[in-house]
Chains A and B, each alone.
Chain A
Amino acid sequence: DTAVSQTPKYLVTQMGNDKSIKCEQNLGHDTMYWYKQDSKKFLKIMFSYNNKELIINETVPNRFSPKSPDKAHLNLHINSLELGDSAVYFCASSPKKTGYGYTFGSGTRLTVV
């Protein structure tokens, strides 16, 4: 069983479109995250949710809206896509306090054309 699963794996879309990426974890972790990896491979946190509550928002444009229907799911919706949004988006989860057992999904490669 995949611990942290993301869909889709690849997403190609035109500028101005709205798209969503889904993430689910079956590890029983309290906290979930979205990280963005740019073209130079640099990884940076975007959001963090704990038990459906937004706890970290790292100055991400408000075109990006995370949604957590329950603690096992964290989706990322992106409005009015721009060329600069092209990147690989990783979902991750961890236990709330210690961070031990940080587990990443396999990533979603978003290409905006």
Chain B
Amino acid sequence: GIQVEQSPPDLILQEGANSTLRCNFSDSVNNLQWFHQNPWGQLINLFYIPSGTKQNGRLSATTVATERYSLLYISSSQTTDSGVYFCAVLVFSGGYNKLIFGAGTRLAVHP
């Protein structure tokens, strides 16, 4: 099956720093999503990005589908950005879709 690899596995930042998270996937996918799991465990959908670039405030994401990777940029990081960031690819199985998750990047932003 398709493999989804995220890097780095762990990241520690000082507040105000910028960072880039990477997601590589092993096969063509129908779509790709980035999620943030906050310290309370809630999964929040950040971007739905099959290709191209999207921006939402201090976060932006770029997916290059032909090269099978996606990047999540966090600028001017804040302590509230802490948590786990997941990349998940959408694949179709038997006419229906399912998300295959990467192992996540654990981000800690210190004041």
Contact = CB atoms under 8 A, between A and B. Distances in A.
B interface secondary structure, majority: strand
B53 interface: no
B86 A43 contact: yes
A44 B96 CA distance: 16
B56 interface: no
Contacts of A13: none
Q: Chain A interface: which size bin?
A: 20 to 34
B45 A107 contact: no
A31 interface: yes
B101 A102 contact: no
A55 B96 contact: yes
Contact of B103 (A42, A98, A106): A42
Interface in B64-89: 84, 86, 88
A99 B43 contact: no
Interface in B85-111: 86, 88, 90, 93-101, 103-104, 106
Interface of B: 30-31, 33, 35, 37, 41-43, 45, 48, 84, 86, 88, 90, 93-101, 103-104, 106
